Structure 1
Amino acid sequence: MTGRSVAARRTGIVAGLALLAVAVATGVVSASNIASGLTQSRGDVSVPTWLYLATGAGVVGVSALLTMLVTDREFLAHAHDQHVGLSNRTFARAASIIGGTIGVGVLLGMVVVGIIGPQGIGLTSATVLLSFVVVRAILTTVAYTVGDPWPTLNPWRRIVSVLPTLDRAYPSSLGSWPAVGALLVFVWLEVVAPVISSPRLLTTIILVYSVLTVAGAVAFGSSTWFERGDPLSVWFRLYGSVAPIQRTDDGLSLRWPGARLSDDDVVTDLSVVGFVLVLVWELTFSGFIVTPPGVAAIEALVWIGLPPQLVYLLLLVGGYALCWWVYWTAAGLTRSRAETYLSRRYIAIRYAPPLLAIAAGYHFAHYIGFSISLWPALLEALSAPLNPGANPTQLALTSWFGYVEIAGILVGHVLAVWIAHAVSIELFPGKLQAIRSQYPFIVVMIVFTMISLYLVSLPTLSAPFVPA
């Protein structure tokens, strides 16, 4: 039997055991939540919390140990580099023109409906539903499960394509920090501003964003701005790197899910690392502020005299800073354990893409039920955007749907473990050196798993001091 056959067989066994571990863990956790229905009203699990969390952490830990058995560099490189071409440039250009035109039409429709359409109840407004159900939930899910649709649909890119550009040099020191700052502002506004109940306010934010985006693209060029400075484009590009369908210079190619994350051009500098950490933290933040511990912390800070808007900002930025510290510390420990001359900065950049698999798992858990539940309301709003029904239809999810949420979290972490292993094998020449280098990041992933599962297990409350 050849070396590659042995490696392939070993990998098959590892993958099977990892998937079995996921199935067992999610089965135990989900079975304990059948009566509570996690997507509707999260409650305490019937098994002890410590066992619930230990099971999820065990999945990540065991999958990490199993993936470490695969040390054949040639096999790993071959598996991650495999791809099948799907289209050509002519097809991609035609799709871009059609999709961009549709995107511009939808953007104009959202602005009109947001200004003159119904106000006060967000679930009746097509502007609100398109923003949160379609863009934030459905298109993002498509990005990491199928392929990035945003370059085709991006209305601002289509608008800029017919405008003159100044083509000024983009300051290299800025990197993607403007996109990081903008995304943090958007997450904060979602919490403290009545963007759901006030379509006009949401439309105002969309118009301000449109002006800034078009101005940035005109000043620095479309390719540069949408690659680095525009938060929505960076959002979809990074989530899209998890998907099996990838964009290439020749069109599209089909790869194994997550294989793109092992490439060294997904995350290119610390500013993109910062954006990746926002993707992970913003979903954890959104879950934390509606749990009993989060509500208690917010009420305590407001009680001592801090304005609610400032409290939410401090929690958002403070938690993000803590994520940075944990990740930077893990990069330093990895460098020490691997005994390498590679810089901590380079290690932090190369190990950031696996976190996108975790972010995708978090997003799936948060938004898959949300998308399904509000799908009928979206169709009703689109059928009569200026005069929708007063009582939009929402689907009630079955109690076992919690199984899907938890499976998304765990599968995302297991995929992240595999990609981190592939990166370590590529970076470090010694097998034991590569294995030792993974320990700090495995610990970080286990901690992230336990935190996310703990938040999912808690009952859901309303975020305090938030405008209706």
Structure 2
Amino acid sequence: MDTLLAHGLGGRSDLPLNGTAAIVGGGVAVLASFLALTVAWRRPRLRPDGGRLLPAALAGALGSPALTVAGRAAALAAAAGVVAVALAGPPGEDENLAPWALYVTFWVGLVPVSVLAGPVWRRVNPLRTLHAALCRLLRTDPAGRRPPVRAGYWPAAAWLTGFVWLELVAPHRANPRLVGALICGYAAINVAAALRYGSGWFARGDGFEVYSTLLARLCPLGRRPDGRLVVRTPLAGLAGVRPEPGLTAVACVLIGSTAFDGITRTTYWRDTVDPSSVVAGTVGLATAIAVVAVVYLAAMWACAALTASPAVASAVPAGREGAVPADTPAAAAALAPVGPAGETGASSGTPARRAAGRPDAGAPESASAGVPESVSSRRRAAALAGRFAPTLLPIALGYTVAHYFSFLLLEGQMTVILASDPFGAGWDLLGTAGHRIDYDLAGPALVAQVQVNAIVLGHIAATIASHDLALRVCPPGRAVRGQLPVAVVMVALTCAGLFALLSG
């Protein structure tokens, strides 16, 4: 069980692919996409405030309070059931529902649900339900006080780092009693934090909600600034993500952890590292995340240098509330948090726009949104890193699909099988007791195609999002030059990701 949980896939030696051809072809595809963009994509096209309105009846049904209440009740009941089974169900890892529900159905299943249906977990998060109930019981204001400004997404980045360490490195991670205790501890700490800092804590501090909400930016369903539901270009949601402290860290943790998962299944790792070594696993995971962060920050530093007088977006994105003047601290740092707005697939906006007005979403952002010349290169690079961090999300999605597609489709069946008799009492509630995993659902050919295409398409999507943003925030005529380091990194990461994927 630990081996299954640590690795989203089995061995890949049976995948019907020519590894060298796939790696070279993937790198060429990403490079070709960048070259095509420089010719055909000369102005920003991704509009976070655009999209086609959904029919009123459908939008009303999707936004119905009754649907929210039903979803929250179901999520709370499911979470309570998993904890009960973890603590009182069968002690064996292979017989207990809880590890499968947490590591497979929830952690991996949260990705397709968020990308296809939007920030569903934010809407039904049982921790929000518990917090609201406690606030009513204690007669306290659920809004509370705002978290420290500089906290940003750092608490979520820390939680996500801890979880991926648990999933990929920690010993006995599939022990049902440990799983139950960890779920309870996680819930207690985050609800306590929300009692102090208000419900806004979950939007920045709850690792799972942040994970779901950020991936939901890639959902074709979203909300315009006026709150109305629309169908939009999937990448358009990324243009509305506001740069905040810790956002880069979250993206690097997501990419680095899946990269490490791939590395652990290469021939080199298996032949040279003891898979049971916690120290080796911890160092490897930390190194993978650090390498991704260093490569990304180096690309942003090079981008800042090549654009000479880089213009970075203000904390308020184009098409929303107008640019922040260059002489403000927000423009100088480009990292100031702006609160919990935008927690859905596209931000809900504000009731009134500022007097500065809304810049044309199809034009580059005003130079006033940039960092002044007096700001150091390091500060400019850091500002660019925060502004471009959302463009890493398609890569994280591609890596996740590549590494966990078959894991969810195959091992995910165990959740349904075990749910039929959760306490080992001889029940057959769903008629699936005694069933076995049907491995014919995903043959080697299908798995190989999904894996390679997910990685390549993820990098191409990130290249598109990054190019569009560069046109929006870089000085006129310098966007392509500034994107050269990014293009190099995209090609390198594509080849590295495919190499790790196909060298098992």
TM-score (norm 2): 0.76
Aligned-pair CA distance for 1:354: 1.5
CA displacement, residues 292-321 of structure 1 (integer Å, 9 cap, x when unaligned): 22234534xx9xxxx922222222222222
CA distance in structure 2 between the partners assigned to 1:383 and 1:220 by the alignment: 40
Partner of 1:348: 385
Amino acid at match of 1:448: L
Counting only pairs closer than 5 Å after superposition, residues 25-424 of structure 1 correspond to structure 2 as: 40-43=10-13, 49-73=19-43, 76-77=45-46, 81-85=50-54, 87-88=59-60, 91-122=63-94, 124-164=95-135, 165=140, 167-194=144-171, 197-222=174-199, 224-247=200-223, 250=227, 252-263=229-240, 266-299=241-274, 308-342=277-311, 343-387=380-424, 389=433, 392-396=436-440, 397-401=442-446, 402-424=448-470
Amino acid at match of 2:237: R
Amino acid at match of 2:27: A
- Would you tell me which structure has more helix in proportion to its own residues? 1
What is the Cα-based RMSD across aligned positions, in Å?
2.5
Contact 1:156 1:214 in 2 (8 A): yes
CA displacement, residues 27-82 of structure 1 (integer Å, 9 cap, x when unaligned): xxxxxxxxxxx9553128787644432111001000111111134426x1569833
1:456 aligns with 2:501: yes
Aligned-pair CA distance for 1:253: 2.5
Aligned-pair CA distance for 1:260: 0.8
Partner of 1:436: 481
Structure 1 stretch displaced more, 272-281 or 65-74: 65-74
Partner of 2:332: none
SS at match of 1:253: strand
Partner of 2:371: none
Aligned-pair CA distance for 1:98: 1.3
Aligned-pair CA distance for 1:202: 0.6
Aligned-pair CA distance for 1:281: 0.8
SS at match of 1:246: strand
Distance 1:213 1:409, change over 3 A: same
CA displacement, residues 210-233 of structure 1 (integer Å, 9 cap, x when unaligned): 1011111111001x2111111111
Distance 1:47 1:110, change over 3 A: closer
Question: Any unmatched runs of 5+ in structure 2?
Answer: 1-7, 312-379, 427-432
Contact 1:89 1:250 in 2 (8 A): no
CA distance in structure 2 between the partners assigned to 1:97 and 1:398 by the alignment: 39
Aligned-pair CA distance for 1:119: 2.2
The number of equivalent residue pairs is 410
Contact 1:246 1:253 in 2 (8 A): yes
Distance 1:450 1:341, change over 3 A: closer
Question: Any unmatched runs of 5+ in structure 1?
Answer: 1-37, 460-468
CA distance in structure 2 between the partners assigned to 1:194 and 1:313 by the alignment: 11
Contact 1:92 1:251 in 2 (8 A): no
Aligned-pair CA distance for 1:365: 1.1
SS at match of 2:12: coil
TM-score (norm 1): 0.81
Partner of 1:29: none
Contact 1:267 1:273 in 2 (8 A): no
Distance 1:184 1:297, change over 3 A: farther
SS at match of 1:385: coil
Distance 1:80 1:409, change over 3 A: farther
Aligned-pair CA distance for 1:83: 3.8
Distance 1:351 1:83, change over 3 A: farther
Amino acid at match of 1:234: V
Partner of 1:33: none
SS at match of 1:370: helix
